[in-house]
Amino acid sequence: MKKKKNNKKIDLFKINIKLLKENFLDKKNYFIIIKNFEKNPKILKIKIKKIANLLGKTLPQNKAGTKIVEVKPNIELLNKFSSQKKLEKLRYHQTNVGGSIHSDGPQLNSPPKYILLACSKESNRGGHSIIAHSKRIYDFLKKEKPNYLKILMKKFLVERRGFNYPNGNIFEKPIFEKKKNFFRFRYLREYIESAYKIKRIKLTPKKIEALNFLDKLMQSNRFQKKLKLNQGDLIILNNNTLSHGRTKFNLNSGDDQRTLIRVWVK
């Protein structure tokens, strides 16, 4: 009898995750926040992995193949590099910088569709999460600034930072992709600028103008909202239709830093 009850609970859990995808992550606001999901860091990782596996296939987030990553400032590396080098050498999740609204995994052939971010340790000051609606920005550009959208749907060089690829660590991909019912936003400006720098190619004035306008829209209250993730909170978002970032946050002493647990799901 006990075994049947357990199976029933598991089936109900799977059904709830399916409804979560269909009714929230794949339409409407394209994200969901679960407050007080789990405050115990060890149990948090177990639970977030379970949800991720039900949402789809989990993806490696670096060349080591790590599938559960701590989004946490790397104090050793931050002290090693100058302010400019930090942006050129480190991945965004290794720093405490703000801004840089982006999609996750733009350096992958096929970026993750869903991002799970669970707060294991909140910041004492700063570190508010920012969510920008990339699909609404696309619709706005299509109507109001089609010349910019045309540029942003062309291919840009992108650095494949954090990964090793046999064909090189630079490739070309469009920022906006739209084909019938498929939509994808792929963007992390620092990776675009570093790719052109590595290749010793200058971005054209028209491309820079389009990128600047895109950044302006993503920073606009019209297309974004800010929220504070507290310890134990979980946010799941659709990485194809939403972009995200954060405000700058203070570094604490030692290893006691703002920490989010992140999983990529395809």
pLDDT string in tens for the chain (266-residue length) = 445 555 555 567 788 888 999 999 998 889 999 999 999 989 999 999 999 999 999 999 999 999 999 888 877 777 777 666 666 667 777 877 777 899 999 999 999 999 999 999 888 888 889 999 999 999 999 999 999 999 999 999 999 998 988 878 999 999 999 998 899 999 999 999 999 999 999 999 999 999 999 999 999 999 999 999 999 999 999 999 999 999 888 887 767 788 899 999 99
Other beta carbons less than 10 A from residue 252's beta carbon: 16
**Contact between 218 and 32 (Cβ < 8 Å):** no
Other beta carbons less than 10 A from residue 59's beta carbon: 20
Q: At 208, which amino acid appears? A: I
Q: Mind listing the pLDDT tens digit for each residue in 41-89?
A: 899 999 999 999 999 999 999 999 999 998 888 777 777 776 666 666 6
Quote the distance between the C-alpha of residue 266 and its chain's center: 13
> 168 in the Ramachandran plot: left (φ > 0), alpha (ψ -120 to 50) or beta?
left
| Alpha-carbon span 119 to 233, nearest angstrom | 5
The pLDDT value given to residue 1: 47
Q: Reduce the DSSP state of residue 223 to 3 states and report it.
A: coil
**DSSP type of residue 94:** G
| Alpha-carbon span 176 to 185, nearest angstrom | 5
- Picking from 72, 75, 109, 111, the residue whose alpha carbon sits closest to that of residue 92 is 72
Task: Read off φ and ψ for residue 243, nearest 5 degrees.
Answer: -120, 165
pTM of the model as a whole: 0.87
